[in-house]
Structure 1
Amino acid sequence: MTEIGSSQWRRDMRADLIARRQEIPVAQRNKADAKLAHMLGEYIGDVAGKVVSIYWPFRGEPDLRTFAKACRQQGAVIALPVVVEKAAPLAFREWADGMSLDRGVWNIPIPPADAPKVMPDIVIAPVVGADADNYRLGYGGGFFDRTLEHLRQSKAAKAIGVGYAEQRMETIYPHKYDIPMDHMILVDT
């Protein structure tokens, strides 16, 4: 029997939650993504002059590229997170429309190494699971937790977790290194 909150329990929960997310029909996810973009816009407000970090959608995560385009049109700089080394905070590189992208960890598209490095004012992070205390269950590498810790020491960046209602959990049983998001938006599909 797996101990609740243990590393094995987290691996099992991740596998289950990712499978459930990927089972959501694409048309339903697209509608939910539009709703999510609207809710993010309402929550964040004016983005002119701000650096907004989104992420490249992976394994059924909400697709915020249309939201990013709208933010860019409102005067925001858009960034994508980049894994630069294991067990380190993420780096952020500016992402512009039409930019040729490289392949990063898990073959996820990232801006090239010569893209401008930026520090985000707003970090939007996908969740595998999320609880009422704004703790995020991610993929298990700890990249976002390390990044949030680093950003909170050096800059007052706002961290927003996003996902679908199917990813809601009673608790992730946070460990000492888990850092809660400032806000969580989970939309119905």
Structure 2
Amino acid sequence: MSDPATLKHSIRRQVLAQRQAASQDAEVDLVRAWSDRPTLGTVRCVGGYWPLGSELDPRPLMQHLHENGHELALPCMQSDPHGLVFRRYQPGDRLEQRRFGVHEPCKSAPVRHPDLVLVPLVAVSPAGHRLGYGKGYYDATLSQARMKNDIATIGVAWEMQIREDIPVERHDVPLDFVVTSQGKWLDCRAVRQGDA
């Protein structure tokens, strides 16, 4: 039987190819989906992300949230400690392309602590177990954030990225919700409680 790291690598390779194909011919309206969102309490600051390649693009939703009074932040990769720091972002701000081709706010942008984070992913299970690119930035960041304050996480996924066979390791931090390209919402917390 394959170890979790080997299985994750295999799933990652397969799903990235499928995601690339899916993104070529798809209509997505996350703004419309947002109106059907679960009750998330008072959200002040939303941590988004700048899409890489065929990742589902959250920028129209981020623009909508900004226009409706939410503060936005984008992640910046840190080397020590290993994780992300979120810096303020407003639509139209100049971004810098950094490691792995990720677009990030300037280092002078103020640090923010989002109470809701939109999370990119390669694949995710209905229980919210996320497969990323394997570097662990989001797991490290979300683990620390949850120890300090109440933070909600929403994975943003193409329908075909939802899979039952995601291996789970001790350091993996599950997501609270997933919103899909077709506007469906999954409450991953409820699925995990049902599995208990």
TM-score, normalized by the shorter chain, greater than 0.5: yes
2:82 alignment partner AA: A
Q: 1:63 is matched with which residue?
A: 57
C-alpha distance in structure 2 between counterparts of 1:184 and 1:98, whole Å: 27
Q: 1:152 is matched with which residue?
A: 146
SS at match of 1:62: coil
C-alpha distance in structure 1 between counterparts of 2:123 and 2:16, whole Å: 9
Choose from 158, 165, 174 the match for 2:168. Answer: 174
Structure 1 vs Structure 2 CA RMSD = 2.1
C-alpha distance in structure 1 between counterparts of 2:119 and 2:44, whole Å: 17
Choose from 12, 18, 21 the match for 1:20. Answer: 18
SS at match of 1:9: helix
Deviation of 1:173 after TM superposition, in Å, equals: 1.6
1:178 alignment partner AA: D
Choose from 182, 185, 188 the match for 2:179. Answer: 185
Query: Which stretches of structure 1, 4 residues or more, deviate above 4 A after TM superposition?
Result: 44-49
On the 8 A contact 1:161/1:184 being kept in 2, the answer is: yes
1:158 alignment partner AA: A
Q: 2:134 is matched with which residue?
A: 140
Deviation of 1:188 after TM superposition, in Å, equals: 4.1
Deviation of 1:25 after TM superposition, in Å, equals: 4.4
1:14 alignment partner AA: R
Aligned length: 183
On the 8 A contact 1:145/1:177 being kept in 2, the answer is: yes
Q: 1:47 to 1:22 in 2, by over 3 A?
A: farther
Q: 1:8 is matched with which residue?
A: 6
C-alpha distance in structure 2 between counterparts of 1:41 and 1:148, whole Å: 25
Percent of aligned pairs with the same residue? 26
Structure 2 unaligned residues grouped into runs of 5+: 184-196
On the 8 A contact 1:122/1:157 being kept in 2, the answer is: yes
Structure 1 unaligned residues grouped into runs of 5+: none
Deviation of 1:169 after TM superposition, in Å, equals: 1.1
SS at match of 1:42: coil
Q: 2:71 is matched with which residue?
A: 77
Deviations 1:77-123 (A, max 9, x none): 11111101166221001111221111122111110000111000100
Q: 1:90 is matched with which residue?
A: 84
On the 8 A contact 1:125/1:161 being kept in 2, the answer is: yes
Deviation of 1:135 after TM superposition, in Å, equals: 0.7
Q: 1:164 to 1:144 in 2, by over 3 A?
A: same
C-alpha distance in structure 1 between counterparts of 2:39 and 2:67, whole Å: 14
C-alpha distance in structure 2 between counterparts of 1:37 and 1:174, whole Å: 31
Q: Does 1:129 align with 2:123?
A: yes
Q: How high is the TM-score relative to the length of structure 1? A: 0.88
Q: 1:109 is matched with which residue?
A: 103
C-alpha distance in structure 1 between counterparts of 2:80 and 2:58, whole Å: 26
SS at match of 2:83: coil
On the 8 A contact 1:101/1:111 being kept in 2, the answer is: yes
